[in-house]
Amino acid sequence: MNGCGKIMAISATELAVPLPAPVRNGTALITERRYILVDVETDDGMVGTSCVFTRGAPLVALVRDVIGPQLIGRFPEDVSEIWSDIYRAGELFLGRSGAFPRALSVVDIALWDLRGKVQELPVADLLGRQRESVPLLMALGYYRGGDDELESLEAEYAALVTAGFRRFKMMAGGAPVDRDVERIAAIAGVLPSDATLAVDVSGAWSTADEALRFVEASPVSFEFIEDPFRPDNIEALREFRANCSVPLAIGEWESGRYRFSQLVEGQLVDILRIDATAAGGITEWLRIAEHADEHGARILPHYYPEVHIHLALSNPTVEAIEVVPTSTGADNFPLLTTAVPWQESPVSHLAPGSGLGVEWDRDAVERFRVDGQNSRSS
């Protein structure tokens, strides 16, 4: 028996939220964050919400024209069946990667939020929570330039060390190897012996030689190297793995269990960075994680702690969830909320609340709305 009314409307809104100052990762200058916020509403007034990056894709149009109409009249508790119907209708002509699975992801996450609210439970409990807390990986070290860049990096990491954090990541690949090595050395100088450091290259390298030179010149042993090459550069990936023992983390750009199966079964990855907002939502994330567990692959989700904390608490093989500290200026998601369900402390617990547990600031949503980018299916 279904526990709530039928879906009567789906709205999708694009938001543009400026950063306080531009930041750069390995490949891109970031001046603002573009989000899509989706509300799924039932005929008895319940609403489930999800908000994720658009990554420049036309997600509002896909939700409005392709996915939204297929939800009307359905029961949100049938989320797995809804996912399968939408995926079958779109995969052949819209693709198994890119914009379509991202649009499906944001809708699926909103449906899970709605299910939790209907049952008055956190999503983690719907999924069978197995633990009460999860460690955090702090992702920072963006490129800023300037004469004081190294000193700023040292101060950024030192502050988090003082607060008790021990798992860190930094950006690399956006500067010549010698400069990146200087940046790593500056950070290493403030990290205690029990801290770990990983690097995110954002696909900036083209050859295995570049990657090997970086590893050989670096003054630390990395916990992992993330996305050293673009997803289609399999030749460089294989060569690098054959000549380097540093674990490789891949997955934030990938969608669907088929692609992740190729990575795992092809022995191309050590740590899967499964991102529920790109991989196909919570529904598909669960399938991918199950396959990863069967093959002994490690799991460390990419960003979106408000979603991934629920998945991590229900899957004890997840090593940590990733947080971009607001102090970096690279994360402005909290501007859209009045409260968030994670804490910037080394170990995070769920905050009270049902569904995803996010309390949205609707005034802020309206303030950052992109004109002409609001649509509603009903």
Answer whether residue 271 shows pLDDT above 60. Answer: yes
What single-letter DSSP state applies at residue 202?
T
Higher pLDDT, 350 or 226: 226
Tell me what pLDDT residue 188 has. 94
CATH superfamily of 125-348: Enolase-like C-terminal domain (3.20.20.120)
Structure tokens at 32: 């603002």
Confidence of residue 1 (pLDDT cuts 50, 70, 90): very low
Instruction: Report CA-CA distances (Å) from 6 to 46, 57, 71, 315.
Output: 10, 29, 9, 30
φ/ψ bin of 203: left (φ > 0), alpha (ψ from -120 to 50), beta (otherwise): left
Crossing angle for the helix pair 79-94 and 281-294, to the nearest 10 degrees: 90
| Centroid of chain to Cα 78 | 25
Give the span between the Cα atoms of 143 and 25, in whole angstroms.
6
One-letter amino acid of 81? E
Q: pLDDT tens digit string along 161-184?
A: 999 999 999 999 999 999 999 999
What's 122's DSSP letter? B
- CATH 3.30.390.10: which residues of the chain? 7-121+361-377
Other CB atoms within 10 A of residue 159 CB: 13
Q: Which residues pair with 299 in a beta bridge?
A: 272, 318
Q: Looking at the structure, give the CATH architecture of the domain made up of residues 7-121+361-377.
A: 2-Layer Sandwich (3.30)
Residue 167, pLDDT score: 97
Strand 7-24 vs strand 369-377: parallel, antiparallel, or unpaired? Answer: antiparallel
Mean pLDDT for the stretch of residues 269-289: 97
Decide: pTM greater than 0.75: yes
Residue 376's pLDDT is: 64
Q: Looking at per-residue confidence, does 250 or 326 come out higher?
A: 250
Lowest mean pLDDT among 147-151, 233-237, 305-309: 147-151
Residue % of the chain over a pLDDT of 70: 96
Per-residue pLDDT band at 327 (split at 50, 70, 90): confident
Polymer length in residues for the chain: 378
Q: Which range among 57-66, 148-157, 344-353 shows the weakest confidence by mean pLDDT?
A: 344-353
**What is residue 371's predicted lDDT score, i.e. its pLDDT?**
80
Q: Which residue ranges does the chain devote to CATH 3.20.20.120?
A: 125-348
Residue 94: which residues within 8 A CB-CB, separation 6 or more? 62, 66, 100
State the average pLDDT for the chain.
93
DSSP sequence for 229-241: S-TT-HHHHHHHH
Write the pLDDT tens digit of every residue in 33-65.
Answer: 999 999 999 999 999 999 999 999 999 999 999
Tell me the backbone φ, ψ of residue 42, rounded to 5 degrees: -100, 170
At 324, give phi and psi (nearest 5°).
Answer: -95, 110
Confidence of residue 378 (pLDDT cuts 50, 70, 90): low
What per-residue confidence (pLDDT) applies to 247?
Answer: 97
